[in-house]
């Protein structure tokens, strides 16, 4: 396997769109300061029946494996389009192609071993000074397993750079609310985002221009925008928030 070029910043996205949701501002700022960026996608986001149904105009019950594979290809294309908006291109992206929605399911031990090897290689070759990944407290199983795999890869490769996490799913689709900044919100007897400290230790400001570009990159994930725009738009805030993973197990 060809060795990957080293980069300054490595972003792990469980699905196409998570890289924009969590890190579009950080990526733009890195590109603007001449830093190199690689985005690693755990899955192609192929296991989303609602999105496949909307894309192909079929009832969910009529969807076939071919439809899901085509959705995955469409989402890869959207990830490339979004990357271009952020100042990157396809050569900055690595699609691992693991099955969407079942990364955390057992047994599939071959998947786990292969994923560990792929994550370790991505981290070892990239030699980043900083890594971004979804938080272990994220409610989506693919997001949690991506965090776990990155942690294991960091240990296996002796990675000593910074590892920062971001939250996408906490409180279903009720967090975050629409508004310029992220807030701690209480509903259903709990506070969100759950499982992380508040206020977030790292808050990165986005300029109005960066926020606008982030919104365009979110829209480039068209299969998601069509069905989830009311949710996705809430991440186009004037800031992005992160937690250092060093205190996580």
User: How many residues of this chain bind Zn ion (CB under 5 A)?
Assistant: 3
Helix axes 49-56, 222-232, angle to 10 degrees: 120
Q: How far is the CB of 15 from Zn ion (least distance, A)?
A: 4
Q: Does 221 bind Zn ion (CB under 5 A)?
A: no
Q: Does 138 bind Zn ion (CB under 5 A)?
A: no
How would you write 27-87 as a 3-class SS string? Answer: HHHHHHCCCCEEEEEEECCCCCHHHHHHHHCCCHHHCCHHHHHHHHHHHHHHHHHHHHHCC
List the one residue from 7, 11, 12, 14 that touches Zn ion (CB under 5 A).
14
Q: Residue 15 or residue 144: which is nearer to Zn ion going by CB?
A: 15
Beta bridge partners of 94: 40
Q: How far is the CB of 14 from Zn ion (least distance, A)?
A: 4
Q: Does 118 bind Zn ion (CB under 5 A)?
A: no
Contact, 95 vs 33, CB < 8 A?
no
**Which one of 17-25, 28-36, 120-128, 217-225 is the stretch in contact with Zn ion (CB under 5 A)?**
17-25
List the one residue from 10, 11, 12, 15 that touches Zn ion (CB under 5 A).
15
Q: How far is the CB of 12 from Zn ion (least distance, A)?
A: 11
**Which one of 15-23, 115-123, 192-200, 212-220 is the stretch in contact with Zn ion (CB under 5 A)?**
15-23
Q: Residue 15 or residue 112: which is nearer to Zn ion going by CB?
A: 15
Q: How far is the CB of 6 from Zn ion (least distance, A)?
A: 26
Q: Does 18 bind Zn ion (CB under 5 A)?
A: yes
3-state helix, strand, coil in the chain (%, to 5): 45, 20, 35
How far is it, in rounded angstroms, from Cα 131 to Cα 122? 11
Q: Residue 95 or residue 125: which is nearer to Zn ion going by CB?
A: 95
User: How many other C-beta atoms are found inside a 10 Å radius of the C-beta of residue 210?
Assistant: 22
Q: Does 112 bind Zn ion (CB under 5 A)?
A: no
What's the Cα-to-Cα distance from 135 to each of 56, 66, 80, 132, 156, rounded to whole Å? 32, 31, 24, 9, 19
Continuous segment of H or E residues that includes residue 163: strand 162-166
**Which one of 6-14, 28-36, 72-80, 238-246 is the stretch in contact with Zn ion (CB under 5 A)?**
6-14
* Closest by CA position to 38, among listed 156, 119, 152: 119
- Residue that is written with structure tokens 């700022």 in the block: 29
Question: What is the per-residue binding string for Zn ion in 177-206, x denoting contact by CB under 5 A?
Answer: ------------------------------
Binding residues (CB under 5 A) for Zn ion: these are 14-15, 18
């Amino acid at each position: 396997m060809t060795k990957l070029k080293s980069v300054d910043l490595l972003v792990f996205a469980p699905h196409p769109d998570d890289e924009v949701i969590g890190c579009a501002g950080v990526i733009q700022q890195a590109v603007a300061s001449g830093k190199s960026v690689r985005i690693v996608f755990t899955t192609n986001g192929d296991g989303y029946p609602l999105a496949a149904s909307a894309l192909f105009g079929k009832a969910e019950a009529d969807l076939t494996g071919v439809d899901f594979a085509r959705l995955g290809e469409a989402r890869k294309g959207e990830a490339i389009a979004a990357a271009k908006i952020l100042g990157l291109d396809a050569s900055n992206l690595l699609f691992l192609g693991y099955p969407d929605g079942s990364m955390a399911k057992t047994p599939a031990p071959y998947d786990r071993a292969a994923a560990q090897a792929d994550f370790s290689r991505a981290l070892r070759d990239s030699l980043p000074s900083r890594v971004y990944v979804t938080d272990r407290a994220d409610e989506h199983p693919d997001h949690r397993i991506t965090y776990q795999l990155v942690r294991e890869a960091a240990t296996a490769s002796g990675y000593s750079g910074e590892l920062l996490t971001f939250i996408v799913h906490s409180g279903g689709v009720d967090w975050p609310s629409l508004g310029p900044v992220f807030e701690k919100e209480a509903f259903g007897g709990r506070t969100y985002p759950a499982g992380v400290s508040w206020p977030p230790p790292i808050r990165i400001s986005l300029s109005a221009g960066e926020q606008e570009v982030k919104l365009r990159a979110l829209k480039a994930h068209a299969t998601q925008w069509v069905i989830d725009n009311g949710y996705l738009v809430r991440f186009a805030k004037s800031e992005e928030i992160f937690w250092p993973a060093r205190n996580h197990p």
